[in-house]
């Protein structure tokens, strides 16, 4: 959003001035670029020109759907939009541009990637001349304002002549985005960075969160001092990733963590879902016929940064290897069963049935009571 | 008329009600016929109050037999609404853009979201799901935003249909994808580089088995199954779709958007965009109903059938479809010609306070139609509305059937015959939309079609229109003059009717 405003300001400042003819009296052409962009918007929410000057509008459609561009007399936007909506069967052939004296200039419907130019002389009468996409349904939100004036413009944030979505906004409130208060733990299936597209983000508490990959059936990373910023992911079409808020402190890079039945190959996995125990998700997946429960919980000491994983594995026929990434000296990794050989925790068939692995950040313990 | 029909039916269906019905019929006849109240304002639309804090972008609605509504929303919530108390409760949360929900019962629901079809189970019966069980995730996701997933729609035999959107070149894909990546599926405006994008699939909800059902879809945001098990799916105008369509979908067939062919047996290694268009054109099944773009529909959504038994007005058994960009729904009048489904379409519930963005529509057990809105960065709306029939009969075309020489139209009310019989009160034109890779299509070969003769049908409720020249492969757009009214002078509600003529009636 911020970018759009900057762009708008730049366009506004860089009005390319070209002297057309030495004979014309101060005859200048204001070249204005307007793009139709995703989200039923013009990238340029407004611009200003002096009364009676020539203006050249370069209109490009960078969106995925068709749009036109219609300049109207002050206060006539809604009327023109209504006329366009009521063109019925003849709408498409008229480019959804109704015949009206309230229209001062227009560019026909452009398909995606289309580009067209229109030149006209700005009215001599000062005023706010709307421009709008009259493609059915678009006109109520997709518009902007041509200020024909020599004065300064009102602040963008309070300019009622541009769509609400393009006025500067204050910080998003910190309150819950849901119809219920947000209590820990918090779970979101979402698109996460450095994860497969079937991501699951969990905030264990206000200190520690982790990302789990339901496609690969594995833990991806843990971070501290925050959870997610879903603003962009939740906006419109869902193109953007959820953003990690805070600092990642453990991110193993050794691939799928289990080796079963004496094989050193990465086994095939199948995600079965999760159930909630005290609201924490306990993931269930299959490695061939072997069923794994992976239950990630906060450490007992609330002042420590870290977590532990309780594994329950059934139908195990042989030994089990669990691989942790011990390359980070700041993370202490330990287990209540089995034997470590470097990154590999070796477990017997019996030990594999139920064991815990602890991940604790060392050196950065925040002490209680300070 | 309808009351009688209904009663006749119930007599046949239920012997126990025989005498009761007879008494009712007699009483209706004896009290000098029940007056039909005419009026084109036949529906009432009210807003449903959504809970505070909810971003009411609706992905799915469905009803429990007790009348409570289950609804899922963009930020991952599955909520339950009790229309009696107007209270909402939380059933599940944290899902990734759920776009469809189906309650098996109040403790068990299926929900389709980005990563999978999930079974939500409230095992301890406290009103909240505590088990999020994966029914199937055996399809690909590339991370592209446009890979929306729809369904689950019951097939009538215990299984479910889901549909999988193509990706959009409005964005790329991620470094890590789920499922096999095939580079030959990557080109194109809408593309299918991971399994079964652009397909409709059948899911066995018990064992999760996933069967590829039909291919060739672009953005199939609407699945419905009729009483007889017929599968209908809407698709959205764009590349390869000159205009939005409703398909009657049959197993193993291809519906025209080529990207999905990447996952068709025998097409391995072939970039479908290299297949010559005339071949694709021969391979594809045509849309049963074409919705002229931006006139009737820009983005058709959920189809439903009116099986309310007359609780929703005179359009029993007909199909109603949601639409994103307009403040009306669509009513579809199906016509079977030569074993194939085609038919006509008009706006529905116009000018009655319905807002845009009707992404989902669903019947409550008491015969009201609920609409859930969304926009998702395109045209649309937010919130939920309830549509109820107020008992009036609108003056509308009830059915439009192809004859050998033209069309037979029946109306919801008896026609004022003088104007109805004047051929000048009917104007027809026809046009077609081209099948091509380019985004959308203009109307080609727009031609006026001369009306030769108009005659009343035997019961006086309809007319036969003979046309000069009938050819297949066109949309026939009929405009009725506003002088056409019911006998009691109720003006015709929808003056323009759009009939998709794929096949001529031979017999």
Q: What is the pLDDT of residues B387-439, one digit of tens each?
A: 999 999 999 999 999 999 999 999 999 999 899 999 999 999 999 999 999 99
Q: Do domains B53-137 and B397-501 have the same CATH topology?
A: no
pLDDT band at A135 (very low <50, low <70, confident <90, very high): very high
Q: What is the number of H-type helices and E-type strands within chain A?
A: 3, 27
Nearest CA in chain B to A112: B439
Facing A197 at nearest CB: one of B133, B142, B379: B142
What does the pLDDT look like over B152-204, one tens digit per residue? 999 999 999 999 999 999 999 999 999 999 999 999 999 999 999 999 999 99
Facing B496 at nearest CB: one of A89, A137, A190: A89
pLDDT band at B469 (very low <50, low <70, confident <90, very high): confident
Facing A238 at nearest CB: one of B53, B145, B294: B145
Please give the full DSSP string across A187-235, using - where no structure is assigned: EEEE--TTS-SSEEEEE-SSSEEEEEETTTTEEEEEEES--EE-HHHHS
Write out the H or E segment, with its range, that includes residue B407.
strand B406-411
How confident is the model at residue A71, as a pLDDT?
96
Using DSSP's 3-state secondary structure scheme, residue B184 falls into helix
Nearest CA in chain A to B142: A197
CATH number for domain A2-166, candidates 2.60.40.420, 2.40.50.100, 3.30.70.2740, 3.40.50.1950: 2.60.40.420
Facing B75 at nearest CB: one of A40, A177, A271: A177
B441 touches chain A (CB under 8 A): no
Is there a contact between B7 and B21 (Cβ–Cβ < 8 Å)? yes
CATH number for the segment(s) B53-137: 2.40.10
Interface with chain A: mutation pick from B53, B77, B96, highest number of A CBs within 10 Å: B96
CATH 2.60.40.420 in chain A is located at 2-166
pLDDT at A364 over 60: no
Terminal-to-terminal C-alpha distance of chain B: 30
Mean pLDDT of B460-476: 94
How confident is the model at residue A169, as a pLDDT?
46
Residue whose token pair is 């006539």: A76
Interface with chain A: mutation pick from B48, B108, B178, B445, highest number of A CBs within 10 Å: B178
Distance of CA A344 to the CA centre of its chain: 37
How confident is the model at residue A1, as a pLDDT?
35
Is there a contact between A47 and A7 (Cβ–Cβ < 8 Å)? no
What does the pLDDT look like over A157-190, one tens digit per residue? 788 899 887 876 433 334 789 999 999 999 999 9
**Cβ contact, residue pair B298, A136, below 8 Å:** yes
The pairing of beta strand A331-335 with beta strand B462-467: unpaired
How confident is the model at residue A4, as a pLDDT?
39
What does the pLDDT look like over A315-339, one tens digit per residue? 888 899 999 999 988 999 999 999 9
pLDDT at A14 over 50: no
Facing B379 at nearest CB: one of A92, A137, A234: A137
Interface with chain A: mutation pick from B59, B115, B205, B210, highest number of A CBs within 10 Å: B115
Nearest CA in chain B to A192: B143
Is there a contact between B70 and B99 (Cβ–Cβ < 8 Å)? no
How far is the alpha carbon of A99 from chain B, nearest alpha carbon, in Å?
Answer: 18
Residue whose token pair is 């009351």: B3
pLDDT band at B33 (very low <50, low <70, confident <90, very high): low
How far is the alpha carbon of B144 from chain A, nearest alpha carbon, in Å?
Answer: 7
Residues of A whose CB is below 8 A from B88: 179
Lowest-pLDDT range of A131-140, A173-182, B213-222: A173-182
pLDDT at B14 over 70: no
pLDDT at B8 over 80: no
Mean pLDDT of B469-490: 96
Residues of B whose CB is below 8 A from A237: 145-146, 170, 376-378
How confident is the model at residue B12, as a pLDDT?
46
How confident is the model at residue A15, as a pLDDT?
34
Is there a contact between A133 and A142 (Cβ–Cβ < 8 Å)? yes
Residues of B whose CB is below 8 A from A66: 439-440
- Note which residues in 165-204 of chain B have CB less than 8 A from chain A: 168, 170-171, 174, 176-178
What does the pLDDT look like over B246-257, one tens digit per residue? 999 999 999 999
Terminal-to-terminal C-alpha distance of chain A: 40
Using DSSP's 3-state secondary structure scheme, residue A243 falls into strand
The answer as to CATH 2.60.40.1220 being correct for domain B397-501 is yes
Nearest CA in chain B to A197: B143
Facing B77 at nearest CB: one of A178, A186, A190: A178
pLDDT at A369 over 90: no
How confident is the model at residue B199, as a pLDDT?
98
pLDDT band at A152 (very low <50, low <70, confident <90, very high): confident
Nearest CA in chain B to A271: B134
A/B interface, count of CB pairs below 8 Å: 154
- Return the structure tokens found at B150: 């729809």
Mean pLDDT of A57-65: 90
pLDDT at B120 over 80: yes
Nearest CA in chain A to B189: A64
pLDDT band at A312 (very low <50, low <70, confident <90, very high): very high
- Note which residues in 62-121 of chain B have CB less than 8 A from chain A: 74-77, 79, 88, 90, 93-97, 113-116, 118-119
Lowest-pLDDT range of A131-135, A170-174, A334-338, B328-332: A170-174
**Cβ contact, residue pair A179, B93, below 8 Å:** no
Facing A273 at nearest CB: one of B133, B176, B440: B133
Using DSSP's 3-state secondary structure scheme, residue A346 falls into strand
How confident is the model at residue A25, as a pLDDT?
36
How confident is the model at residue B3, as a pLDDT?
44
Mean pLDDT of A349-369: 81
Residues of A whose CB is below 8 A from B55: 177, 234
Mean pLDDT of B31-53: 88
Q: What is the DSSP letter of A82?
A: H
pLDDT at B32 over 50: no
- Note which residues in 152-171 of chain B have CB less than 8 A from chain A: 168, 170-171
Residues of A whose CB is below 8 A from B142: 197
Crossing angle, helix B18-30 and helix B2-13, to 10 degrees? 160
Residue ranges in B161-301 assigned as alpha helix (H): 277-283
**Cβ contact, residue pair B377, A235, below 8 Å:** yes
Residues of B whose CB is below 8 A from A291: none
Return the percentage of chain A with pLDDT > 70, whole number: 88
How confident is the model at residue A28, as a pLDDT?
63
**Cβ contact, residue pair A177, B53, below 8 Å:** yes
How far is the alpha carbon of B438 from chain A, nearest alpha carbon, in Å?
Answer: 10
Question: Taking the domains of chain B in order of start, what are their residue ranges?
Answer: 1-35, 53-137, 143-286, 288-392, 397-501
How far is the alpha carbon of A237 from chain B, nearest alpha carbon, in Å?
Answer: 5
Q: For A254, how many CA atoms within 13 A lie in the half-sphere containing its CB?
A: 18
**Cβ contact, residue pair A93, B443, below 8 Å:** yes
pLDDT at B30 over 90: no
């Amino acid at each position: 959003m911020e970018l759009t405003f900057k762009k708008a300001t730049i366009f506004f400042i860089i009005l390319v001035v070209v002297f057309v003819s030495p004979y014309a009296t101060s005859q200048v052409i204001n070249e204005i670029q307007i793009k139709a962009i995703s989200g039923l918007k013009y990238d340029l929410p407004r611009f200003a020109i002096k009364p009676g000057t020539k203006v050249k509008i370069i209109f490009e459609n960078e969106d995925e759907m068709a749009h036109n561009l219609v300049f109207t007399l002050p206060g006539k936007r809604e009327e023109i939009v209504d006329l366009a909506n009521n063109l019925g069967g003849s709408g498409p052939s008229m480019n959804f541009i109704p015949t009206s004296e309230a229209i001062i200039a227009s560019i026909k419907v452009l398909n995606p990637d289309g580009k067209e130019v229109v030149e006209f002389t700005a009215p001599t009468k000062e005023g706010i001349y709307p421009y709008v996409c009259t493609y059915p349904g678009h006109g109520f939100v997709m518009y902007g304002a041509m200020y024909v004036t020599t004065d300064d413009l009102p602040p963008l944030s309070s300019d009622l002549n541009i769509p609400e979505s393009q006025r500067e906004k204050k910080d998003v409130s910190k309150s819950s985005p849901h119809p219920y208060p947000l209590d820990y733990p918090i779970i979101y299936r979402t698109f996460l960075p450095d994860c497969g597209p079937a991501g699951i983000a969990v905030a264990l508490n206000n200190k520690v969160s982790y990302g789990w990959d339901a496609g690969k059936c594995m833990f991806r990373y843990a971070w501290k001092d925050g959870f997610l910023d879903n603003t962009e992911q939740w906006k419109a079409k869902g193109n953007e990733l959820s953003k990690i808020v805070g600092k990642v402190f453990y991110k193993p890079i050794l691939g799928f963590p289990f080796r079963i039945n004496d094989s050193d190959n990465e086994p095939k996995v199948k995600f079965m879902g999760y159930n909630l125990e005290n609201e924490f998700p306990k993931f269930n997946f299959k490695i061939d016929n072997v069923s794994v429960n992976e239950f990630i919980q906060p450490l007992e000491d609330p002042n420590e940064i870290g977590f532990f994983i309780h594994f329950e594995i059934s139908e195990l026929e042989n030994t089990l290897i669990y691989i942790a990434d011990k390359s980070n000296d700041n993370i202490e990794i330990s287990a209540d069963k089995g034997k470590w050989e470097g990154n590999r925790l070796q477990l017997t068939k019996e030990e594999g049935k139920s064991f815990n692995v602890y991940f604790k950040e060392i050196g950065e313990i925040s002490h209680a009571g300070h | 008329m309808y009351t009688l029909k209904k009663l006749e039916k119930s007599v046949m269906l239920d012997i126990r009600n025989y005498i009761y019905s007879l008494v009712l019929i007699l009483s209706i006849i004896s009290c000098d016929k029940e007056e039909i109240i005419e009026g084109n304002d036949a529906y009432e639309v009210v807003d449903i109050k959504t809970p505070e804090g909810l971003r009411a972008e609706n992905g799915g609605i469905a009803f429990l037999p007790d009348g409570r509504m289950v609804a899922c929303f963009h930020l991952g919530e599955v909520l339950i609404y009790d229309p009696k108390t107007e209270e909402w409760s939380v059933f599940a949360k944290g899902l990734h853009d759920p776009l469809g929900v189906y309650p098996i019962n109040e403790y068990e629901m299926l929900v389709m979201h980005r990563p999978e079809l999930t079974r939500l189970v409230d095992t301890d019966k406290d009103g909240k799901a505590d088990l999020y069980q994966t029914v199937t995730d055996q399809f690909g996701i590339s991370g592209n935003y446009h890979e929306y997933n729809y369904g689950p729609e019951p097939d009538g035999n215990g299984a479910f249909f889901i549909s999988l959107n193509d990706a959009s070149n409005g964005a790329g894909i991620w470094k890590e994808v789920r499922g096999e990546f095939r580079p030959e599926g990557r080109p194109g405006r809408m593309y299918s580089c991971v399994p079964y994008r652009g397909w409709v699939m059948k899911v066995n909800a018990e064992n999760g088995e996933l069967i590829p059902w039909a291919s060739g879809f672009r953005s199939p945001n609407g699945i419905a199954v009729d009483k007889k098990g017929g599968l209908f799916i809407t698709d959205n105008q764009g590349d390869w779709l000159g205009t939005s369509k409703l398909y009657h979908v049959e197993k193993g067939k291809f519906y025209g958007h080529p990207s999905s062919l990447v996952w068709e047996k025998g097409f391995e290694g072939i970039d479908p965009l290299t297949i010559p268009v005339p071949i694709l054109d021969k391979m594809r099944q045509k849309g049963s109903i074409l919705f002229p773009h931006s006139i009737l529909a820009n983005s058709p959504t959920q189809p439903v059938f009116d099986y309310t038994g007359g609780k929703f007005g005179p359009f029993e058994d007909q199909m109603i479809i949601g639409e994103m960009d307009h403040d009306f729904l669509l009513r579809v009048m199906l016509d079977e010609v030569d074993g194939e489904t085609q038919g006509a379409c008009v706006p529905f519930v116009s000018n009655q306070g319905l807002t845009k963005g009707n992404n989902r529509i669903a019947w409550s057990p008491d015969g009201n139609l609920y609409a859930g809105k969304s926009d998702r960065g395109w045209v649309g709306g937010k919130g939920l509305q309830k549509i109820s029939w107020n008992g009036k009969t609108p003056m509308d075309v009830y059915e439009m059937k192809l004859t050998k020489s033209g069309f037979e139209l029946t109306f919801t009310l008896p026609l004022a015959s003088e104007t109805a019989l004047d051929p000048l009160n009917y104007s027809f034109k026809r046009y077609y939309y081209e099948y091509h890779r380019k985004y959308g299509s203009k109307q080609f070969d727009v031609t006026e079609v001369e009306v030769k003769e108009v005659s009343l049908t035997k019961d006086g409720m309809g007319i036969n229109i003979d046309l000069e020249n009938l050819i297949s492969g066109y949309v026939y757009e009929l405009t009725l003059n506003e002088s056409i009214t019911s006998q009691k002078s109720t003006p015709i509600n929808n003056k323009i009717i759009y009939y998709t003529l794929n096949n001529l009636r031979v017999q």
